[in-house]
Copies of this chain bind each other. A is one copy, B any other.
């Protein structure tokens, strides 16, 4: 009988970070110049895994559906966008400095770590008073702390030759707003009818005070976001006094549908059920734009952490942009001959956090090897081809032919080192599901050995059936 305990095969996130560097998945950015906190580059294996994650998301959200289309918008943004969205005023963290050693800390993190107090949503004065009253001092040097002040997390730049206030632009802190801006252009050109979604994958930027936990909290990252536009129903939800009739239930219906969809996506790509959970936001946690919110959390080595958010944003965003720009962003319902501002259910996933979750879930240390048990659809390389020996021309030639045939369809790898044991181990580490060896028998029988990454079992497959065999396994 199995013990029902959760196995955490990674001891710490640092173990994963150093593995990622050694195995070519992720490198700290600008290492030769001493690094820059919160920035990471994806190496040869990492970029393939990340691309596969993005491709699977795009397939499930856009390609497999009739009701969702994609866009790809710019990352340097007009300031009005972020004024309208509320980010210029409110996308801030409370910051305190040490008067002695000049170190900077998030006041809410200090309150949580030192006092075990949750100050989310509190104003600056409350936070400052709490820290003063409880005599919280600098964790580094015990120096006195300043009052808490607001610190905006958006990166700022200037467009055009002059660095003046009127030329300010922001690096987008999320991709979502760019979808709202393009709502009308997309709907008109693609002739979409409600309900429909607009999806986007792209970079976002947050000037975090304290980046941490490897890829979990970084300053530059990628998001996969989809905004699903729906009819608000008869009763407006804005008036909280109104009875919760169809409006609420339509939002609720799609909110629950998308929660389920998105959870299933992670499960279908192999993340273990016990390592995933929903966390519903309490009323006092909700952002200014949200009517309801749920996180999908993964059980990371340091504990549960958000990898995706599903939000009922009501008509907040379209209404705001309409108000600030003076442009009509409503929708005309042909059937009901009615005009209204659609409501939005958002699914917002972090590419890098998904990457981290897939890696944590797949990484196993066994007696004689490290193996990444990635879903074959996500594996950077689908199959590796080896000649059993490197000094037999016929075997090397045949292995080359097998490689050339497979690479038409799959990401494959060729390694003629002639040390099969070592080659297996290297492929196990980067999650390659199949290793194919061409040996002396292959010359006569026109077949090869196919070794399975997880079971390490081998079987013979005819060379001419190899493409079909792999296609079936990778489906």
- Any B CB within 8 A of the CB of A269: no
Query: What are the nearest 3 A-B pairs in CB distance?
Result: A24-B189, A44-B69, A41-B73
- Any B CB within 8 A of the CB of A209: yes
Interface size on A, residues (CB 8 A): 77
Cβ-closest chain B residue relative to A417: B191
18 A-B residue pairings within 8 Å (CB atoms): A23-B189, A31-B185, A32-B325, A33-B78, A33-B80, A33-B81, A40-B74, A41-B74, A43-B186, A44-B190, A50-B72, A76-B220, A104-B161, A151-B161, A156-B157, A156-B158, A160-B209, A161-B209
- Any B CB within 8 A of the CB of A36: yes
- Any B CB within 8 A of the CB of A362: no
B76 and A30 contact, CB distance less than 8 A: no
| Secondary structure of the A contact surface, majority rule | mixed
| CB proximity of A400 to chain B, nearest CB, Å | 10
Chain B residues positioned under 8 Å from A186 (CB to CB): 24, 43-44
Chain B residues positioned under 8 Å from A32 (CB to CB): 181, 184, 321, 325, 327, 329
| CB proximity of A160 to chain B, nearest CB, Å | 7
| CB proximity of A18 to chain B, nearest CB, Å | 12
Oligomeric state, in number of copies?
A: 2
Chain B residues positioned under 8 Å from A220 (CB to CB): 74-76
Cβ-closest chain B residue relative to A163: B156
Chain B residues positioned under 8 Å from A72 (CB to CB): 41-42, 46-47, 50
Chain B residues positioned under 8 Å from A369 (CB to CB): none
- Any B CB within 8 A of the CB of A63: yes
A141-159 to B contact mask, C-beta < 8 Å, 1/0: 0000000000100011111
B63 and A411 contact, CB distance less than 8 A: yes
- Any B CB within 8 A of the CB of A110: no
A161-B95 Cα distance, complex, nearest whole Å:
9
Most buried by B among A23, A48, A327: A48
Give the residues from 169 to 196 in chain A that come closer than 8 angstroms, CB to CB, to chain B: 169, 171, 178, 181-182, 184-186, 189-190
